[in-house]
Amino acid sequence: MKHGLSYIFRRFAASIFLLLLISPAKAANIIIGGDYTDLGTIVVVSPKLGDTATANGTALLNTLAGITTASETQPYLIKLGPGTYDLGAFGLQMKQYVSVEGSGEKATKITSAPISDALPPTIATVLGVNDAELRSLTVENTSAGTNTIGILNLSSSPSLSHLTIIASGGMRNYGIYNSSSSPTMKDVTVTATGWGGPSSANAVYNTSSSPIMIHVNAVASGGSTNDGILNDSSSSPTMTNVTVSASGGTGLNYGIVNTYSSSPTMTNVTANASGVPGSTNYGIVNSLASSSPAMTNVIATASGDSSVNCGIVNTSSAAPTMTNVTATASGASSNNCGMSTSASSGNYTILIDRCSFIGSTNSILLNDSHYTLKIGASKLDGPISGAMFSCVGSYNGSYIALNASCL
């Protein structure tokens, strides 16, 4: 023969291998590459036609439980086929060196409704771990408990990519909750939805955590209080190409909150806050214990038929550095301010370059003498209030040059 028997055998073996991968009959678990440690071990869980979401969830939990030899030199991958994997009242506790990959955010969903009343929380739909990845699927928590959490990271820093995370139905709804953790979050959409009344929604909550956040879309809505991203207790994430929205609350709607010594690096970030009559809406809040983010190419907007709208609010020793920042407020019945600052003691300086502040009540509201604003090449569209201003090369909404006191 032209190619010989060995060539024909190799072609036949390859055909059988591919057939096993795509055959509907092999719908349970297919273990591939177990003899090839350089490739690791891949476990494929693929629901059969007619399998229930509960059966799929049980298969996923059993598959993960059955992996007991994962290590740095022998990592595993669980590959999930299209379908819904319902874990019931349980959460998926990830394992070190075991990654989970779906077939796409619109094709594969892990859902559960575990009841969690403790704070700090202890249960979620997915619980992260170091040295593992979760990617290419949707995570959903629909619990009616006190804390409803999509992904919970407690002293763990997994890699999270190409994910949609949904949390709704609880008293406190968190899409991602990071505590003493620094996961990498890339191409992630996080949605937290409250149900009015006393409920709250927080798309991403970081406490003592500094995740890397790239191409993240965080949406919080429907609660009395809504926070798109809350950075608390010395959390300093790196936020790049991040879009945040907080809306619909009757109380407080805050796009991004940096508080208690939290100083993230924010680059190409957009934060929007809007509410209903009687609400207070802030695009970005920097508050307490020297929370001083570095803000570059940032848009902060507050709008809606509410009581108070402010693009950016700085309080109690917070002193951000701002470059190419636009802060806008509109629609409030009593106060629309581009930026507001206030402190009860101390002396703080905010450096502002090539920024725009727009508000019909105040472009900038300087509430006391504890802050000095040094403003260069910036637009102040709306009245200013306060005395500690220093302007160089700046102008008002009519493009008329301002003097050294920003007047």
> For 91-113, what is each residue's pLDDT tens digit?
999 999 999 999 999 999 999 99
Select the CATH number that applies to the domain covering 80-371+380-389 from these four: 1.10.287, 1.10.3470, 1.10.10, 2.160.20: 2.160.20
pLDDT of 33 strictly over 90: no
Alpha-carbon gap, residue 302 to 270, rounded angstroms: 11
Q: 333 CB contacts (<8 Å, ≥6 apart)? A: 277, 305, 306, 307
Q: To 5 degrees, how large is the angle CA 221–CA 102–CA 186?
A: 55
| Of 66-70, 322-326, 375-379, the least confident | 66-70
Alpha-carbon gap, residue 268 to 272, rounded angstroms: 13
Q: Which pLDDT score, from 0 to 100, does residue 13 have?
A: 42
Segment 334-362 shows an average pLDDT of 94
| Of 24-38, 230-244, 261-275, the least confident | 24-38
Task: Give tens-digit pLDDT for 170-222.
Answer: 999 999 999 999 999 999 999 999 998 899 999 999 999 999 999 999 999 99
Alpha-carbon gap, residue 294 to 283, rounded angstroms: 16
- With 0-12 CB in 10 A as exposed, 13-18 as middle and 19+ as buried, what is 93? middle
Delimit the domains of the chain by residue range.
80-371+380-389
* Residue among 147, 164, 288, 303 nearest 231 (CA): 288
Given pLDDT bands bounded at 50, 70 and 90, which one contains residue 116?
confident
How many Cα atoms occupy the beta-carbon half-sphere of 256 within 13 Å?
A: 33
- With 0-12 CB in 10 A as exposed, 13-18 as middle and 19+ as buried, what is 389? buried
Q: Which pLDDT score, from 0 to 100, does residue 299 have?
A: 98
Polymer length in residues for the chain: 407
Q: Which pLDDT score, from 0 to 100, does residue 306 have?
A: 83
- Cβ neighbours around 88 below 10 Å, total: 14
* Residue among 240, 246, 243 nearest 280 (CA): 246
Torsion angle, CA of 312/340/316/237, rounded to 10 degrees?
A: 10
Q: Is 222 left (phi over 0), alpha (psi -120 to 50) or beta?
A: left
Alpha-carbon gap, residue 6 to 296, rounded angstroms: 62
Distance of CA 22 to the CA centre of its chain: 35
The mean pLDDT value of the chain amounts to 90
